Structure 1
Amino acid sequence: MPDLPSLRETLDAHGLLAKKSFGQHFLLDLNVTRKIVRLAGPFEGRSVIEVGPGPGGLTRALLESDAGKVVLVEKDPRFIPLLKELDDGSGRLEIVEGDALKVRESDLADGPAHVVSNLPYNVGTALLIKWLTGPWTPHALTLMFQKEVAERIVAGPGDEAYGRLAVISQAVCEAKLVMHLPAAAFTPPPKVASAVVHLVPRPDRADRETLKRLERVTAAAFGQRRKMLRSSLKTLGGAGLCEAAGIAPDDRAEVVDLAGFLRLAAALA
């Protein structure tokens, strides 16, 4: 998009700064946003949903890609006029002013769609859980989180970051950490580093009823992670539940793999 001013010039022209209350940190380096889009693709003409586009750095890269329709969901009305400047009149860009936690993705895109976003820090995990456990299934998710959250998504048994988020995410998707970004890459720089996670729904992904049981089991198990499962799962059946699932009641949650938690969820049924 060679005729556009730089992102920094665009922000200055509109007199816009990031809002802390919205968890906004902007990526203004188009080399970085283009790399994220390459990691997310190829799109092969499929729709892409971007949440919290802000000044549109990632949006510009998406519009340069092989994506079909590019749908932006922006809660901050200050950025709507700026984002409209990216519309070339082809009908490819759609801007929705609203809260991504409340929109219905099936209304935004026809058929399978990707989600590619530098997520606002304050709602990133909530949005991921919505996409993992809700009625709409994305084609793939390529999402930027705080590094700590990204590590929790991809962690395995025995890892310090392993917990509920890893189990729920990996019961639905194959999850891979694909990119690290230092705080200095953002304007304004956050207090922590960030990372990009690429998630692709598994063909054998857990259904919604299984996920509900899995959420109950992991909430209990990791809510008291220092305790043996016979104690932490006491309200759900304790040692009996473990034995029905083929799990040692003396184990702790952090050593149980995804298959083990899925057996616990099945035994709970």
Structure 2
Amino acid sequence: MPVAIAVGLGLGLAVVASLFFWRKEAFLGIVVLACGIGLWELSRAVGVRDIRLPLLPLLVGTVGMVISAYTAGVEALLVACVLTAGGAFVWRVLDGGGIPALRDATAAVFATGYVPFLAGFVALMLAADDGPWRVLAFIAICVSNDVGGYAAGVMFGRTRMAPIVSPKKSWEGLIGSFVLASAVGVGLMLGPLGGPWWAGLALGAAGVLAATLGDLAESLLKRDLGVKDMGTLLPGHGGVLDRVDSVLFAAPVAFLLLHLVLGSGR
């Protein structure tokens, strides 16, 4: 636990520094790096089922998707996603291999949507004039989901939410996540974001639902692949993909809510 906390604090400091003390492009670099490592971890994980992801076109496409989202908006992100998925699919099929190649190419389409496309919504939030605060609020909601869920689960957890998929998650922990994330959302909305209090409640509740779904989805994927963690790069957390699974699912939800309440901010 001390190691996990230290790693988490280190990651948090890097994120805050890149958002408020360096240029926005520094945070984009962190996003691209996290996506690249996540794709590499995913390729190693699916490799246990003899699935081979075409990493080169996926990595190139990741850079294009994040930059396109930041500089040109949602439409550019969608176009870059289609080009990346299509390019990776064709790349693997042309490499030969019959049915296995088709299976690998289909997995590449999934990987495109799962990692860089969802991460592109973080770049969309960052592009607003108050982008650093939007991104920080979104990340704070995800962290609150983990902290509130862990604390309430340890103290009050009795009823398992999905014992087959994720035995440690409980309904009591989910309530703790809702309480803490909603409180954090209201505070940030009334403070630096300058929005209505009810939007903070909505952001907290929707963020928890999306983040929990992301956790369960990755747990189901790992169970299907027969692996415990996607990687070992982050002591106490597993791999990068283990750390950002909830963040990826929450990103489009947070972007949409903040856009509806605060506008595009450009």
Q: TM range, normalised to the smaller chain? A: under 0.3
Question: Which structure has the highest helix share of the two?
Answer: 2
TM-score (norm: length of structure 1): 0.27
Higher relative contact order (CA closer than 8 Å, sequence separation 6+): 2
Specify the structure having the higher radius of gyration (Cα). Answer: 1
